[in-house]
Structure 1
Amino acid sequence: MPWAALPVELIVRILEALDPHALLNCRRVIRLLKSVVDETVTLQYHIALHSSGMVDGPPGLLSPSERLSLLRSYETSWKNMDWNEHTSLPVPDGSLWELCGNVWAHSRGDNAIDFVQIPSRLRGIPLCQWTLRLDFPLRDFCMDPSQDLLVTIGRATSASLHYQTRLLTLSTGEEHRLARDTATLEYLPAGPRIHWSYSIRISGDYVAILFINNGDGGDDDDEGDGNELVVWNWKTGVQNLRVTLVCMISFIFLGNDFILVSTSTSPPLDYEQPSLLLYSLDQTHVRGVETPNPHLLRFLFPTRPPTYGHSVISLTSDPSPGWSTSPSLQVPFQNPRDERIIAFSRFYRGFPSSETFLIPASTLLEHISDTKIEGEGCEPLDIQWKSWGPTSPVPLQGRWSVFTCFVFGMRHILPGAALRDDRQVGIVRDLCPRRCMRASEEEREESNALHYAMKSKEPYPRSIVKCVNLPRSIDVSSDVKLMISEDGIVAFEVSCMRGWVSMVAQLMPSIGLQHDTTGNKQIHFLTF
């Protein structure tokens, strides 16, 4: 039966079942299909979501036409780096902070946390602030607003070396209703230490904590006990994985079933070729120090001459694979779960410089799917740098500080604010293939000009680089750390106490990065 004989309503229903690529191909077949696609709002919204690198939000009150209009405005704001809302708040006294999607949190003293839901006019997210007061001294925390989950670690004492991780409701501070029994995960790290620091990540049903051994300050202190990574199913309390390595300092979740660990060495010790180690979360047993670590793959870094000394690898990526915008917000559209950047850096102890690389998570996942991973007892496989490594580092990104929230989804922001024509700016890089393909020739030329102005010697593939103006209310003498969130830019401002800050790098004749300093703190949210 020819297409012209079908009712338009039936044609629309057929086209709605197609993916965007097939839909665009149908549009090129005959004039009738082109007309139907171009005049049907639901089909246009379907195409716009795909081309903008977004996915549809949960069902709500907004019609497809309203969602399409908001999506186009949202995309234009990001394209032009034109934030439409600026919220500025003082930062309380406290040493802990966290940024997850559209929620910012900062500790207040040692037993309270202030939370801010970052507003977004175009996605209908209101500004919301609340404070949770805890009945224990806080040592560290992590959160997942999509699951209304707050994970906290209290301060350890010499009287109790068991570390209690409490699973609380983010909105109320009560025990999380989905956590089993007492909503507490207990763990006793190896060795009689109480001076640990932590890295906590959440992905779906998993909570992972990296216990970093800082030593106990004694004369007999050594690194023999190593650092310990433990992964639980936080809903059941079952421990899925435990890894102990001396050189392990960071990790991320990779896909739904794996964890990727950065290490400068791996058994047997190899100080010339550090690696990223891949572990499976399908394991339900615990392996101790005496058992070989059950990594499945090693993504190897290039070797360097011994004169470079010992290298350190850092690793970060946001959001986690199991993350989404909180369902309660009823946003019209959101970032897809399966598209995100992994950032890693390598520096050598004794050398001031370091290199930061960006790579899509899909690149590593493709190597996993292309590799036959055998069961327990088989030798792990090595993936050489030339098979997976990026071609060039990010220009002008120096040694990482505690502010590592400089990637979200497929976007990256240079952590240090810069000066351009006496205006503070941020440098944002977009690696989403679909958005890059749609960039105009003018955008590409401007992107390349800015990239080369950042002292880069070679083109950075498949990315668009742009400047975003920071509010003039931010003092140019302040130290500003930039982070990127789901809906915009987060600027952490520390006012200078000793006058002007010296410039240490040049992006253009009038652009320079800034030193760290101390002073009054302010947080700025610039939303698109």
Structure 2
Amino acid sequence: MTLFDLSKELVILILEELDPWTLLQFCNASQWIHLIAFNCTALRYKYELALCGLKDGPRSLQLPRARLEQLLNHKRGWPTLSWSLEDILRIAPPTIIGVSGGFLFHASESSLNNGHFQWTLQLYELRSFRKVAAPLRHLKYNVPFDIRRVAIDPSQNLMVLADLYHPSNNSVITARLHFLDLWTFQQHRQAAQLRYTFHTDWWGVLPPGQRIWIQQVEICGNKVGLGVRLEIEEGEGTTELMIVNWRTGRPRRYSGDLLSFQFMSEIRLLVASHPDDDDDDDDDDEESESEEPTMTWEHREDGIYMTERGQRTPQITLHDISDDIEPPFPRIRIYELPESWSAVSCMQICPNASPRSEAEVTPGTFFYSDPSQRIVVVSVQLDAKAIPAGCSRNFMLIFDESLPCPPGRGEEIIVRWPEWRNRCLVRNLPDGAHSLQVVGRRLMFFDNIAAPTATGPSNTRDDPRSRLRMLDFNSYAPNYLQSLKSSPAPWTWGGSWTTITAVVPHRVLPYIRTSTVDGYDLTCINVTEDGLVLYDEYEEETIVKILTFGKDPRLRGRNLAA
């Protein structure tokens, strides 16, 4: 007896025991199974989860039919960027603004009556139709220091604030991380200490033309990563990376050129860098000796100076950051990039906003991006005088997060570019591309274009428009695009939007490309699993548009500033 000899009721009982991905494979293999699953609410919910690259959240009181309705609305919104709710926030020009952990934050400095200054940090919880409807929280805290970066992990009730101290004398420049409870603004009860002070290798007052800033702050479980960059010339500088276990206070340190990072897990760290000559490869000593040095830095009393320009190939390195391993971070695997990219002036890993594991999912979430399906996006900018054939000055490297892994038995630690180039995608970017944002398998950015005139495209930028672009690398997304492309996008932000959606073939996999054009000039964007946050900055105020995908008839839109 085979599965097809059983009654429909027995088949449904068997299929209900399968995980979403296995059920999807069954449906792809048999039209009969697909028909059964499509007409059973619980099975279709599982099927749609796998089709969208999502995972089911913890069990809740919400019925499968309600979850399926939420999921289908979420699924229909993204390919055409059709949001169902728009919230507006108008604020005075902030010093910093952004999104982290499902919260919009902005901080500003104001003067007090006694002549002193005080920072105010405000947090607005972003709307999500993937959770049970609840009042959105607004938090406001007074902060006694200059905030430079904010990172939030609501699954641990953790908020990390970073500030930077520039001494007025010839002493060391330091950065500090403050480990706070998100709801009380006191020291987090699991933190080893309220703050951790990181002493950089730089000191004194920086001369004109040089600047130092906090480039990255990322949270992953019990680890917090801090990137501090010193820029010496335009595009030239050096970066220091520090990883600290905020529950034990144990730090790790790493320095390099063009350095950015992304946590793969609490014990794995991915680093993009332009290696120095001192970073010898143990398995390739002869080749290392013959290579020209990258660049050296001379620290004089009046600042840091670059004495040589680098020639070595940039690379992406997987490091072990386990607590039981002594620093520096041991390299597990090195992925080399093309030699023609040696003149890179900027290389940045774009942080992925989707959860890395189930532990990072906010309680009460119905469904979320599958952590095993995340992609890594590295933005690259080349020197204008050394752009190889087929490349624009700005481009991006895209690959699955599962690609970087420890070598197997008999495999080399160093992976040459020809050995892994067919497992990634290199895509050119417009010269004016801004705000590359990654969530799950989606990539978004925008670029400004000249507004058209009655006689054709304008050659001036007096009236620019912002073209918002989305690339969806879910391999199953093109399958359901045909049923959605005829649906008009309900644009609600000032004027008429033009929407273009298409399937783009590639040797790795097809993907959805969406472009929208509006009559406004965007300043920057943020992307979450639930929607978009668009910023339109003026001299007197910043307008924040929060566009949420999905639909919940129990909620109505409101102005967050109200």
Q: TM-score, normalised by structure 1?
A: 0.76
Report how far residue 392 of structure 1 moved: 3.5
1:490 correspondence with 2:500: no
- Pick one of 227, 241, 248 that aligns with 1:210: 227
For residues 332-390 of structure 1, give each alpha carbon's deviation from its aligned partner in whole angstroms, at most 9, with x where no partner exists.
2122222223222222345596322242333xx3352554599xxxx952432551364
Partner of 2:248: 236
Partner of 1:15: 15
For residues 257-293 of structure 1, give each alpha carbon's deviation from its aligned partner in whole angstroms, at most 9, with x where no partner exists.
32122212342544241112221112545536xxxx6
- Pick one of 240, 257, 260 that aligns with 1:250: 260
- Pick one of 116, 136, 144 that aligns with 2:153: 144
Distance 1:458 1:29, change over 3 A: closer
CA RMSD for the aligned pairs? 4.1
Letter paired with 2:348: S
Partner of 1:413: 444
1:366 correspondence with 2:386: no
Equivalences for residues 54-65 of structure 1 within 5 A? 54-65=54-65
Rounded Cα–Cα distance in structure 2 between residues aligned with 1:457 and 1:12? 36
1:339 correspondence with 2:387: no
Equivalences for residues 302-341 of structure 1 within 5 A? 302-304=338-340, 309=343, 311-319=345-353, 322=356, 330-341=364-375
Q: 2:93·2:541 contact (CA, 8 Å) conserved in 1?
A: no
SS at match of 1:407: strand
Partner of 2:457: none
1:45 correspondence with 2:76: no
Distance 1:399 1:12, change over 3 A: closer
1:522 correspondence with 2:543: yes
SS at match of 1:416: strand
Report how far residue 176 of structure 1 moved: 1.4
1:189 correspondence with 2:194: no
Partner of 1:259: 269
- Pick one of 477, 496, 501 that aligns with 1:435: 477
Distance 1:525 1:451, change over 3 A: closer
Letter paired with 2:421: W
SS at match of 2:427: coil
Letter paired with 2:90: P
Q: 1:426·1:482 contact (CA, 8 Å) conserved in 2?
A: no
Partner of 1:506: none
Q: Which runs of 5+ in 2 are unaligned?
A: 110-117, 206-210, 281-292, 295-310, 454-464, 489-498, 550-562
Q: Which runs of 5+ in 1 are unaligned?
A: 216-221, 471-475, 496-517
Report how far residue 255 of structure 1 moved: 4.5
SS at match of 2:79: helix
Mean CA deviation greater in 386-395 or 68-77: 386-395
Report which of the two has the higher share of strand: 2
Mean CA deviation greater in 62-71 or 251-260: 251-260
Q: 2:70·2:130 contact (CA, 8 Å) conserved in 1?
A: yes
Letter paired with 1:70: Q
Rounded Cα–Cα distance in structure 2 between residues aligned with 1:94 and 1:31? 56
Partner of 2:393: 354
Letter paired with 1:140: R
Distance 1:205 1:71, change over 3 A: same
- Pick one of 296, 306, 317 that aligns with 2:332: 296
Mean CA deviation greater in 324-333 or 53-62: 324-333
Distance 1:295 1:451, change over 3 A: farther
Rounded Cα–Cα distance in structure 1 between residues aligned with 2:274 and 2:4? 65
Rounded Cα–Cα distance in structure 1 between residues aligned with 2:507 and 2:429? 11
Identity across matched positions, percent:
19
Distance 1:184 1:248, change over 3 A: same
Q: 1:200·1:209 contact (CA, 8 Å) conserved in 2?
A: yes
Rounded Cα–Cα distance in structure 2 between residues aligned with 1:439 and 1:482? 25
Rounded Cα–Cα distance in structure 1 between residues aligned with 2:28 and 2:164? 63
Report how far residue 164 of structure 1 moved: 3.2
Count residues in correspondence. Answer: 471
Partner of 2:182: 170
SS at match of 1:229: strand
Rounded Cα–Cα distance in structure 1 between residues aligned with 2:511 and 2:104? 27
Rounded Cα–Cα distance in structure 1 between residues aligned with 2:410 and 2:154? 34
Report how far residue 399 of structure 1 moved: 5.9
Partner of 2:286: none
Distance 1:81 1:345, change over 3 A: closer
Letter paired with 2:476: R
Q: 2:315·2:336 contact (CA, 8 Å) conserved in 1?
A: yes
1:156 correspondence with 2:161: no
SS at match of 2:15: helix
Rounded Cα–Cα distance in structure 1 between residues aligned with 2:473 and 2:34? 30
Rounded Cα–Cα distance in structure 2 between residues aligned with 1:19 and 1:173? 40
SS at match of 1:433: coil
- Pick one of 415, 421, 434 that aligns with 1:388: 421
Rounded Cα–Cα distance in structure 1 between residues aligned with 2:149 and 2:219? 14
Report how far residue 124 of structure 1 moved: 4.5
Partner of 1:275: 315
Q: 1:242·1:287 contact (CA, 8 Å) conserved in 2?
A: yes
Partner of 1:134: 143
Q: 1:227·1:249 contact (CA, 8 Å) conserved in 2?
A: yes
Rounded Cα–Cα distance in structure 2 between residues aligned with 1:100 and 1:421? 36
Q: TM-score, normalised by structure 2?
A: 0.72
Partner of 2:106: 106
Q: 1:148·1:170 contact (CA, 8 Å) conserved in 2?
A: yes
SS at match of 2:476: helix
Rounded Cα–Cα distance in structure 1 between residues aligned with 2:254 and 2:368? 34
Letter paired with 2:261: F
Partner of 1:512: none
Q: 1:204·1:322 contact (CA, 8 Å) conserved in 2?
A: no
Report how far residue 66 of structure 1 moved: 0.9
Letter paired with 1:174: Q
Mean CA deviation greater in 49-58 or 106-115: 106-115
Q: 1:93·1:107 contact (CA, 8 Å) conserved in 2?
A: no
Report how far residue 420 of structure 1 moved: 8.2
Distance 1:133 1:58, change over 3 A: farther
Letter paired with 2:213: S
For residues 399-422 of structure 1, give each alpha carbon's deviation from its aligned partner in whole angstroms, at most 9, with x where no partner exists.
65xx44x22111112233557889
Distance 1:433 1:311, change over 3 A: same
Rounded Cα–Cα distance in structure 2 between residues aligned with 1:452 and 1:4? 38
For residues 233-256 of structure 1, give each alpha carbon's deviation from its aligned partner in whole angstroms, at most 9, with x where no partner exists.
2222233x32122x1431111245
